[in-house]
Amino acid sequence: MKAVVLGAGIAGLLAARVLADRCTEVVLVERDSLEAGWRRGVPQGRHLHGLLDRGRTVLEELFPGFTGEAAARGATTAEALVGTRWYLGGARLAATPTGLTSVMATRPLLEAVVRERVLAMPGVRSHTGTVRALVGDAGAVRGVRVTDGTADPAVGDVELTADLVVDATGRGSRAPQWLTDLGFPAPAEERLEVDLGYASALFPRTEGQLDNQSSVIISTGPDGRGGGAIRVEGDRWHVTLAGMLGDHPPTDPTGFTAFAATIAAPDIHALVDGIAPLGEITPHRFRSPLRRRYERLRTVPAGFLVLGDALCSFNPLYAQGMAVAAQQALVLRDCLTAGTTNPDLPARFYAAASAVVDVAWRLSAGSDLANPGVEGTRTVRTRLTNAYVARAHRAAHADPLVARTFLRVGNLVDPPAALLRPTLARRILLPRSANGANEPTG
């Protein structure tokens, strides 16, 4: 079997990784040249990219030794609540072992570690060019048309044939249009308007800052402002400030520092105040999480599926995108194990992937809807969940078990229902009576 994967971002690389076990040939088509460093095709790569522990463990499974390799190339690793600081609602979560490991690096470093491992696999090769259209007929996709970035313009487009085409071109995926062009329906889309603004830069790090802890995350408060700083390769801080609903952080150093002073805890401001950034402060505007409901389509062509941000692009505040892309790669692997040539492969994939996406989508959309300024339908379930989560936040400041469980759920390691277990519910709903005597348990 031959597969063509469109886009060599995290999702495309991971799809290629699992396809390489089943295919004689996997071609990764990417419009950018795949060199180290920031890439034009991934503008979000200049902003803080936290890797949730669920994503890290999938990467370990697919690339044994991933964490150690990233660390050897300069990434920082730390116990998620001991080596790092988390603020929720302006107060710090109880510092306690969680069993989670944070890997802190720039997105280009994370991507390079993954890419080099994928491209070293037998049968995998990259092809530089921009995908323009799917090639196929009313029953199946049989390839793609690519404008070859390196070719003589006189040569024009090339066609790459494949038994399976996987679209991982990210949020801006043109797959809905490509499908329509072939006579198939496009998926319904769900969005939530958050109008989030990011501003990010690298700063020099000096010994002793943050008491030598490796990161600080200050979750957005009721005013929609927050930020994070992680220690990345080259002994630098990668600092991102964020503001929701149009209240975006400035990109001039003075404005950036002033914005940092307004967020709910002083730690990030202390890292940037009076210190010149190493290069420009870069903005990014993210208007809305976007979920494309491919699993609801009655007809999808054989030989084509969509994953990663092209399937669901999450609010970056919750750092879910790479981990959910990794989970989708495992879903694809399992679907391929059950049969590579079966024409219902895409439908099976979408059904299983939507279950994975659902968990993360509910967590993040629920949190977004806790902000009264975000427009959207708040069901009774959403309101009750958010009232409970608000109490969990408060309990997590003093109670290590609640803090630990909260972080494990947020890292997609434990299911959200873990916060509802009777021991937890008692500590969350009756924090005073539960505190003190109770020590964290496994």
Residue 10 in contact with ligand FAD, rule: CB under 6 A: yes
Shortest CB 308 distance to ligand FAD, Å: 2
**What's the token pair of residue 424?**
């937890």
Question: How many residues contact ligand FAD, by CB under 6 A?
Answer: 36
Q: Are 16 and 28 in contact (CB under 8 A)?
A: yes
Shortest CB 360 distance to ligand FAD, Å: 10
Residue 331 in contact with ligand FAD, rule: CB under 6 A: no
Considering only 210, 323, 332, 353, the residue that binds ligand FAD (CB under 6 A) is 323
Instruction: Point out which span in 39-47, 134-142, 266-274, 433-441 binds ligand FAD (CB under 6 A).
Output: 39-47
Q: Are 393 and 371 in contact (CB under 8 A)?
A: no
Shortest CB 423 distance to ligand FAD, Å: 30
Considering only 9, 83, 187, 301, the residue that binds ligand FAD (CB under 6 A) is 9
In order of 212, 294, 404, 430, the CA distances from 435 in angstroms are 29, 46, 14, 9
Distance CA 304, CA 142 (A): 8
In the bound state with ligand FAD, the residue whose beta carbon lies nearer, of 286 and 406, is: 286
Distance CA 289, CA 313 (A): 5
Q: Are 441 and 408 in contact (CB under 8 A)?
A: no
Write the DSSP symbol of residue 436.
Answer: T
Distance CA 393, CA 399 (A): 10
Shortest CB 268 distance to ligand FAD, Å: 15
Sign of CA dihedral 356, 361, 362, 363: positive
Residue 32 in contact with ligand FAD, rule: CB under 6 A: yes
CA distance between the termini of the chain:
45
Residue 198 in contact with ligand FAD, rule: CB under 6 A: yes
Q: Which of residues 117-176 bind ligand FAD (CB under 6 A)?
A: 130-131, 168-170
Instruction: Point out which span in 10-18, 76-84, 94-102, 396-404 binds ligand FAD (CB under 6 A).
Output: 10-18
Shortest CB 103 distance to ligand FAD, Å: 11
Q: Are 215 and 228 in contact (CB under 8 A)?
A: yes
Residue 321 in contact with ligand FAD, rule: CB under 6 A: yes
Angle (CA) 314 317 323, round 5°: 55
Shortest CB 70 distance to ligand FAD, Å: 14
Residue 319 in contact with ligand FAD, rule: CB under 6 A: yes
Instruction: Point out which span in 47-55, 133-141, 219-227, 354-362 binds ligand FAD (CB under 6 A).
Output: 47-55
For 418, residues 6+ apart whose C-beta sits below 8 A from its C-beta are 405, 408, 409, 424
Residue 217 pairs in a beta bridge with 86, 228
Residue 316 in contact with ligand FAD, rule: CB under 6 A: yes
Shortest CB 274 distance to ligand FAD, Å: 26
Considering only 4, 11, 88, 112, the residue that binds ligand FAD (CB under 6 A) is 11
Instruction: Point out which span in 115-123, 295-303, 307-315, 380-388 binds ligand FAD (CB under 6 A).
Output: 307-315
Considering only 63, 86, 286, 294, the residue that binds ligand FAD (CB under 6 A) is 286
Residue 29 in contact with ligand FAD, rule: CB under 6 A: yes
Q: Which of residues 236-255 bind ligand FAD (CB under 6 A)?
A: none
**What's the token pair of residue 72?**
């050897």
b/e burial code for range 310-327 (CB count within 10 A of at least 16 → b): bbbbbbbbbbbbbbbbbb
Residue 42 in contact with ligand FAD, rule: CB under 6 A: yes
Considering only 17, 31, 142, 393, the residue that binds ligand FAD (CB under 6 A) is 31
Considering only 187, 226, 249, 308, the residue that binds ligand FAD (CB under 6 A) is 308
Considering only 47, 54, 248, 292, the residue that binds ligand FAD (CB under 6 A) is 47
Distance CA 49, CA 10 (A): 12
**What's the token pair of residue 22?**
């089943």
Shortest CB 292 distance to ligand FAD, Å: 12
b/e burial code for range 57-72 (CB count within 10 A of at least 16 → b): bbbeebbeebbebbee
Tokens 């870069």, residue? 282
Residue 427 in contact with ligand FAD, rule: CB under 6 A: no
Write the DSSP symbol of residue 267.
Answer: H
Exposed/middle/buried for 159, CB within 10 Å: 0-12, 13-18, 19+? exposed
In the bound state with ligand FAD, the residue whose beta carbon lies nearer, of 110 and 210, is: 110
Residue 197 in contact with ligand FAD, rule: CB under 6 A: no
Distance CA 295, CA 311 (A): 10
Residue 18 in contact with ligand FAD, rule: CB under 6 A: no
- In the complex, the residues that contact ligand FAD under the rule CB under 6 A are 6-12, 29-32, 41-42, 44, 47-50, 130-131, 168-170, 198, 284, 286, 308-310, 316, 319-323, 325
